[in-house]
């Protein structure tokens, strides 16, 4: 039996409801703010009503988005079969109806998420939203220049968003004056609203805060033109992929504009923005591209587009410059914080934070306002890694926000009291046990070994392992396959949890521990292979390099494999027939030398290392 997920209780007190008061002469957007956080508000006339309307609609659209699969209610069909005398008994009908009622009751509780967060700063006002399926985060920031006669009370609080507010905002007309009033209003006589208590699932809160934590990590950045975003959205709207992979691939070559490739059609979109300024070429695959349709409303106002690629399994941030406003859209590499996020969040937890450093940095931000990382690190009196870890910790506590668009840290109190990072350290009890098996502290420490990692060409990666579970006083031998989209399939384990329910209740702790061990080993190997000492430890490895012909546009793929004394080569067009060659050597050392010599020659010939694209 699966246990209910822990929840974080939040009391919300709104005096009135948010609304839009529209007449033929003027329109007012009235936003009701939560009243227990003190005096927070903003008032002013909007200079660009069309920009304000479309940006607000895009943010509310992200808030309402939900890509989770929902099964169809077939009770009416079963009733029809019963009337026709078919094989559909009343017991089947009643059982399915009871199941759907319980499932819908669980969904209603699960949908109890936090309201959007409104923050009024001296230089801007921002709105943060997180989708119900935990797959998309958006931060909409309005500059002071957008409001005429701006009156503000600084601080952070929650914003009331009724179900019909998006429809009312869409009906705003740009040819009439529009004003904004966001404040903690006093209720009219007899119209006071009852307090609303929300039990926010820790899984949802964890997803919201780990997006903030991921934003603090170093990223690969590329610039796109608004027409590039338009071409991408048109291509996504006019095509539907019926098979995997469904990735959006970035091909980045220093000194050349970025190139977007839509899989599985291999549709190449040449970009017209700035040239990629990175020092090394790279190929990065991202997922969840259909969520980019939320940016369609912003195309008429977009000035430039910046994309920040954090790494495999981590969120991707799209920053849309709208002139007097900026929208930052963060797309996670998962939906509903499932299998992929367990490994991703392991990277986001800060380590070795000196005592008092996090509090010192937060107090400085509150006193001086938004500051970039270099400024904070220069006078912190601690190593840069420690400063970054401390700021990452404050982001997980909800007391600091990293502004991706401005590349600055900002003070922002998500809750009246800081979130205890220990309560969101693990998504569930199974994940906590998986970390204990890895020896991350707590009782029940075990041992996790990777026994075999097999690269399946065109399919993914097959991973086998051995997990020594000292609580169960036995060893288990989990295995799974990661497909080209890093999704789990063909999993197996001999533990009671897996034998009882398979993957219906999520992967068991042994599968999770093996997945975490695999992710950690990949990170360690990638760091070690950059050193001569680390290369001596490599016995088996597969790398993929790509190069696109500038005339024909065809992509050439070159795979090089090392397996002991064997070096395997495979090359040819991505969609065509490949050629193969196997080279045997007298010793592992000779094979390794030839392997790395081949990789260096490919780099010299203009090929791009696409290892990250395989994750």
Asked if 37 contacts 30 with a C-beta cutoff of 8 angstroms, the reply is: no
Residues in the chain: 615
Q: Residue 425 contacts by C-beta under 8 Å, 6 or more apart in sequence? A: 349, 432
Residues 449 and 329 in one domain: no
* Average pLDDT value over all residues in the chain: 83
How would you classify the pairing of strands 117-120 and 124-130? antiparallel
**Residue 415 is assigned to a structural domain of this protein:** no
Instruction: Please give the span between the terminal C-alpha atoms of the chain, in angstroms, as a whole number.
Output: 33
Is residue 336 helix, strand or coil?
coil
Residues 438 and 319 in one domain: no
Give the three-state DSSP class for 93: helix
Domain boundary among 470, 496, 528: 528
Q: Are residues 456 and 517 in the same domain?
A: yes
Percent of the chain with pLDDT over 90: 38
Nearest CA to 67 out of 128, 135, 166 is that of 135
Residue 27's DSSP bridge partners are 22, 178
Q: Note the pLDDT tens digit of each residue in 199-212.
A: 887 777 888 888 88
Residue 100 lies in a domain: yes
> For position 3, what pLDDT does the model report?
46
Question: Is residue 194 in some structural domain?
Answer: no
pLDDT band at 106 (very low <50, low <70, confident <90, very high): very low
End position of a domain, from candidates 87, 110, 133: 110
Per-residue pLDDT band at 336 (split at 50, 70, 90): very low
Q: Are residues 497 and 576 in the same domain?
A: no
CATH number, position 270: 3.10.150.10
Asked if residue 597 and residue 502 are part of one domain, the reply reads no
User: Does any domain span residue 275?
Assistant: yes
463 and 578, same domain (yes or no): no
Greater model confidence, 465 or 341: 465
Within-domain flag for 295: yes
Q: Say how many domains are in the chain.
A: 4
B/e letters for 529-566, b = 16+ CB within 10 Å, e = fewer, are beeeeeeeeeeebbbbbbbbeeeeeebbbbbbbbeeee
Of 528, 557, 586, the position where a domain reaches its end is 528
Has residue 364 been placed in a domain?
no
Range of weakest confidence among 237-241, 328-332, 443-447: 443-447
Residue 565 domain flag = yes
pTM over 0.95: no
Are 524 and 594 part of one and the same domain? no
**Is 504 in the same domain as 572?**
no
Work out whether strand 267-270 and strand 259-262 pair parallel, antiparallel, or are unpaired: antiparallel
Is residue 557 domain-shared with residue 489, that is, in the same domain? Answer: no
pLDDT for the residue 54? 96
Q: How far is residue 237's CA from residue 286's CA, in Å, rounded to a whole number?
A: 18
Q: Same domain, yes or no, for 261 and 285?
A: yes
Claim to verify: residue 239 and residue 328 sit in the same structural domain: yes
pLDDT of residue 107: 47
What separation in angstroms does the CA of 379 have from each of 85, 371, 383? 80, 12, 10
pLDDT above 60 (res 187) = no
Residue 561 maps to which CATH number?
A: 2.20.140.10
Asked if residue 383 belongs to a domain, the reply is no
Residue 71 Cα distances to 68, 105, 264, 336, 613, angstroms: 10, 14, 27, 16, 32
Domain of 307?
219-347
569 shares a domain with 477: no
Pairwise CA distance, residues 429 & 426, whole Å: 7
Q: How confident is the model at residue 43, as a pLDDT?
A: 94
Give percent above pLDDT 70 in the chain: 84
């Amino acid at each position: 039996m699966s246990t209910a997920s822990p929840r974080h209780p939040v009391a919300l007190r709104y005096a009135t409801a948010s609304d839009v008061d529209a007449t033929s002469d003027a329109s007012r957007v009235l936003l009701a703010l939560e009243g227990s956080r003190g005096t927070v508000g903003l008032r002013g006339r909007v200079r660009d009503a069309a920009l304000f309307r479309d940006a607000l609609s895009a943010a509310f659209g992200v808030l309402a988005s939900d890509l989770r699969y929902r099964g169809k209610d077939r009770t009416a069909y079963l009733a029809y079969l019963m009337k026709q005398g078919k094989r559909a008994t009343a017991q089947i009908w009643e059982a399915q109806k009871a199941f759907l009622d319980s499932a819908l009751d669980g969904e209603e509780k699960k949908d109890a998420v936090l309201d959007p967060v409104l923050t009024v700063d001296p230089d801007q006002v921002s709105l943060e939203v997180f989708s119900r399926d935990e797959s998309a985060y958006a931060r909409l920031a309005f500059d002071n220049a957008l409001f005429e006669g701006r009156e503000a009370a600084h601080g952070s609080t929650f914003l009331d968003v009724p179900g019909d507010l998006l429809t009312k905002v869409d009906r705003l007309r740009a040819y009439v004056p529009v004003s904004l009033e966001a404040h903690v209003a006093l209720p009219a006589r007899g119209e006071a609203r009852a307090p609303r208590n929300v039990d926010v699932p820790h899984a949802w809160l964890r997803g919201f805060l780990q997006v903030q934590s991921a934003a603090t990590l170093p990223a690969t950045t590329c610039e796109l033109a608004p027409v590039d975003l338009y071409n991408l959205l048109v291509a996504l709207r006019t095509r539907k992929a019926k098979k995997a992979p469904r990735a959006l691939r970035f091909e980045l070559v220093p000194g050349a504009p970025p190139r977007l490739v839509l899989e599985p059609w291999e549709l190449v979109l040449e970009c017209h923005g700035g040239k990629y300024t990175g020092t090394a070429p790279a190929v990065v695959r991202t997922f969840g591209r259909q969520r980019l349709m939320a940016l369609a409303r912003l195309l008429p106002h977009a000035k430039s587009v910046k994309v920040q690629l954090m790494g495999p399994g981590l969120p991707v941030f799209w920053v849309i410059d709208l002139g007097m406003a900026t929208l930052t859209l963060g797309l996670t590499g998962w939906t509903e914080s499932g299998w992929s996020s367990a490994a991703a969040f392991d990277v986001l937890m800060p380590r070795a934070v000196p005592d008092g450093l996090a509090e010192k940095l937060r107090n400085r931000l509150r006193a001086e306002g938004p500051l970039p990382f270099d400024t904070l690190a220069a006078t912190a009196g601690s190593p840069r890694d420690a400063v970054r870890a401390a700021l990452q910790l404050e982001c997980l506590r909800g007391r600091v926000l990293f502004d991706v668009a401005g590349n600055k840290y900002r003070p922002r109190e998500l809750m009246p009291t800081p979130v205890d990072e220990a309560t969101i350290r693990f998504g569930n009890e199974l994940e906590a046990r998986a970390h204990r098996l890895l020896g991350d502290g707590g009782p029940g420490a075990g041992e996790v070994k990777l026994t075999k990692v097999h690269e399946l060409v065109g399919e993914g990666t097959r991973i086998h392992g051995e997990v020594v579970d000292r609580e169960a006083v036995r060893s288990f031998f989990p295995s799974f396959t990661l497909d080209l989209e890093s999704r789990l399939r063909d999993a197996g384990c001999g533990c009671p949890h897996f034998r009882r329910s398979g993957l219906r209740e999520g992967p068991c702790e042994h599968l999770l521990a093996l997945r975490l061990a695999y992710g950690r080993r990949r990170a360690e190997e990638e760091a070690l292979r950059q050193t001569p000492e680390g290369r001596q430890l490599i016995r088996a490895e597969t790398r993929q390099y790509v190069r696109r012909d500038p005339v024909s546009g065809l992509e050439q793929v070159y795979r090089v494999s090392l397996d002991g004394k064997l070096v395997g080569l495979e090359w040819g067009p991505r969609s065509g027939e490949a050629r193969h060659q196997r080279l045997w050597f007298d010793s592992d050392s000779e094979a390794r030398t030839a392997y790395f010599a081949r990789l260096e020659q490919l780099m010299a010939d203009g090929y791009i290392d696409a290892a990250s694209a395989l994750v």
